[in-house]
Structure 1
Amino acid sequence: MRLWSLHPAILDRAALVAVWREALLAQKVLAGETRGYTRHPQLERFRAQPRPLESVGAYLSGVRDEALARGYRFDALRIREAGDPAALPPIPVTRGQLALELEHLRAKCVERAPDWLDRLPAPGVPPRPHPLFAAVDGDVEPWERAAPGEVSRAASRRG
């Protein structure tokens, strides 16, 4: 499960569609409707919020807004507690996490959407977070399973 901390506008088509599906699954997990993924570390930041379903609903709303801007049809009725991400207290995400995710996305785009690479922030330019998140100083988040550099090493082995 990858619930990107990056702004949905940065995500290529495949990542945007995948994060919609993954966040819908996260919503089911947080609602107690599935036994799988209940201990997934990416859910920690949503569980830590006073109203986890509202938080994941705001996350989904941010993803859906970008999808609509691109002409995709993501069904708003699938969001249990849709809301404006800007209306909730922002969830902090470290700049180290954002940088790691951008590296991960860049490695994926090299293989599946090389034309999208020009739309990604240049190396060294801090990426924008999803509207629900606020960037703060710090290294990679403790819940992240991928080690820094792991994605680029894996991509170079395939290339």
Structure 2
Amino acid sequence: MGAVKTKRMPRAVREQQMLDAAVETFGRRGYMAASMDEIAELAGVSKPLVYLYLNSKEDLFTACIRREAEALVGAVRAGVDTGLPADRQLWDGLLAFFAHTGRHPHAWSVLHIQARTHGETFAAEAAAMRAEIVVFVTQLIVVAAREAHRDPDLPEREVRVAV
């Protein structure tokens, strides 16, 4: 009987497994308490493979922040139907935000707690995500305010004060 051949997993798929395991571990235990051994075990790979793919704990954490920030921003944008009235778009964007964070509590912990409290580089990554969401939501508020006041020329700066 011959040896069983297993199909090699593509790098991108394996990397996502590692990021999934890292987000769960960082979210549950925190950045400082999380170990690369624990992340590797949860991902079902060797610790050297994690280092080969993602270089260091810091680079792995940064990759987690970037991926989860992109997913959150994408979820908020996808939750908004631009064909609906502006107030409904704003409401749907908020619902999408809370639905996504509710479904991904470890990701929210990474973005909201861990990234902000473990160094400027990580905090800057999270701040960029927050800034992108603020710009998007501000635009929704501007459109809603213009519709509510029936003033298409209402200056954005007058609405920005509310944000």
TM-score, normalization by structure 1: 0.29
| Greater percentage in helix | 2
